[in-house]
Amino acid sequence: MADGDFLALGGPSVDGEAALRPVPRHVALIMDGNGRWAAKRGLPRFEGHRRGVEALRRAVRAAIEMEIEYLTVYSFSVENWSRPREEVQSLMGLLHRFIRNDLAELDANNVRVQVIGARDDLVAEVAALLREAEQMTEENTGLTLVVAFNYGARQEIAAAARAIAEAVVAGRLSPDEIDADTISARLHTADIPDPDLIIRTSGEQRLSNFLLWQAAYAEFSFLPINWPDFDEAAFRSAIDDYAHRDRRFGRVEPVTCNAKTGS
């Protein structure tokens, strides 16, 4: 879908036809609240994460139906390694099962998987799983599912700064040539458009080291539900709310003046 296209999100308009709403090209999801969801039900945290995978499946299917081009999910941050070892192991197990069980369906639905985040220090098995997901779907042309794994925005920006500094020292780049595009080109998301809408569940209202540079002009939707309860209705509601926002990117729309009345 090109910029400016519209998609019927459903719901009757005043003339009885489906209301047309602009759909964001790129939606990013901070999938928060799995542990709290489980705790409220007296269940182990692992069950919250397992139900969270089901919510992710619903989100991907809804994104396909709404013809969103990019869906980025914050699956595992660099800070998540500090969680209890048993929880980290269970999360790695869910990643393994998701790729083994869902990759064929994603491929059949023309979904391309792209992974962002640091990979140098990943164990071989996990790195191989991520490569498999990318390689199997790299020719697909539908939804791009961007998986932020072992990802941290500050670390990403620091790595870009180091790369720029090395280029300057080597004489490949002059300091006066450095601008925002120079930095963007060295981020993990160099070939991915910035997110139009970032949705976070659980009621928390922060980015938590997620897409700090790319979120400069993103719209935000903070939902009071925990991630396992995120469904198509919640997704569409957030998209509908986004559609009613006035995105000016720092500009002011020109005021038209009536030549006769001066108003």
Catalytic center residues: 32, 80
* Burial label, 251 (beta-carbon count in 10 A; 0-12, 13-18, 19+): exposed
Alpha carbon distance 197, 200 (integer Å): 10
Tokens at 216, concatenated: 């400069």
Asked whether the beta carbons of 183 and 213 are under 8 A apart, the reply is yes
If phi > 0 it is left, if psi is from -120 to 50 it is alpha, else beta; for residue 236 that is alpha
Q: At what angle do helices 85-108 and 45-65 cross, to 10 degrees?
A: 20
Pairing label, strands 197-200, 144-151 = unpaired
In the numeric block, the tokens 């705790």 are attached to 39
Residue 95 burial (CB count, 10 A): 19
